[in-house]
Amino acid sequence: MQVKNCDIQINYKTLVYDASFTLVDEQVNLLIGNNGVGKTVILDQIANLDNNRPAGFLEFPDQSDLVYQTQGVPFIDEVSVQTVLTLFEQMAGANFLTQGSLPNIIEKNLQTRYGNLSGGEKRFVMIWATLQIPRKLYLFDEPLANLDPYHTAEVMKMFYAGVRDGKTIVLTTHQFEGLESDLTHVVHISDQKIAFDGSLSNFTNKHGEDLAKVLQAMPS
């Protein structure tokens, strides 16, 4: 999957000029950059949300073969977590509630109203359930927001288990814990251009191990 010589635009405003970058199959692909550089707009276009995927977006799957978790985690507040997961099972055509063990944070909340979960609990439930849906491409917009360090680590393990299982994952994030160098690709947007497109190890060779520093400089 790649984007080739494509201006990333919203309402005729160009956010990123002449973007070219690759997303690597069966890896965790990080889309990073400061607030407002256009990461969500790119995810929206990959997801083809408004049937507006640009012509320069090449080899991306159809909507039916991708799943997109947006920044908020809205769902039906009135139903229990168990019902949320049953609905996801129906979407997935799978039986994941009765098979295997559920993460503790889900198990202990099965009878809780979804609307009564904490922000981090909602996000964890949605990420876990989303990953049970069999698709080629998984898009997550800031999945680590609201998660404590323990559940951040758990989610990163789930992502890497997914890629080992053949999933391709794209996520936007401002956090860099739990990354596995050999299964991670980085696309960095800065100054309205693609500043980096390559492996995590090449990115750390360029910028050092403390990836958050890349986002700490005052954006222009």
Ligand X SMILES: Nc1ncnc2c1ncn2[C@@H]1O[C@H](COP(=O)(O)OP(=O)(O)OP(=O)(O)O)[C@@H](O)[C@H]1O
Burial level of 18, CB count in 10 A (0-12/13-18/19+)?
middle
- Identify which of residues 94 and 212 has a Cβ nearer to ligand X in the complex: 212
Interface with ligand X, residue 35, by CB under 6 A: yes
Site for ligand X in 7-26 (CB under 6 A): 10-11, 15
Within 8 A by CB and 6+ apart from 27, the residues are: 163, 168, 169, 183, 184, 185
DSSP bridge partners of 193: 190
The span from the CA of 153 to the CA of 26, in Å, is: 19
Kindly state the tokens that stand for 29: 């692909």
What are the start-end ranges of the H helices in the chain? 39-46, 81-92, 104-107, 119-132, 149-164, 200-207
Of 2, 9, 22, 40, which lies in the binding site for ligand X, with binding defined by CB under 6 A?
A: 40
| Residue 21 phi, psi dihedral angles, 5° rounding | -160, 165
Cβ neighbours of 104 (radius 10 Å)? 9
Q: Which residue stretch of 37-45, 48-56, 57-65, 200-208 sits at the interface with ligand X (rule: CB under 6 A)?
A: 37-45
- Identify which of residues 36 and 134 has a Cβ nearer to ligand X in the complex: 36
- Identify which of residues 10 and 161 has a Cβ nearer to ligand X in the complex: 10
Q: Which x/- pattern, by CB under 6 A, does the window 153-192 give for ligand X?
A: -------------------x--------------------
Interface with ligand X, residue 37, by CB under 6 A: yes
Number of residues binding to ligand X, judged by CB under 6 A: 12
Kindly state the tokens that stand for 52: 């507006």
Q: How far is the CB of 34 from ligand X (least distance, A)?
A: 7
Q: Which residue stretch of 29-37, 49-57, 114-122, 201-209 sits at the interface with ligand X (rule: CB under 6 A)?
A: 29-37
Interface with ligand X, residue 41, by CB under 6 A: yes
Q: Which residues bind ligand X (CB under 6 A)?
A: 10-11, 15, 33, 35-41, 172
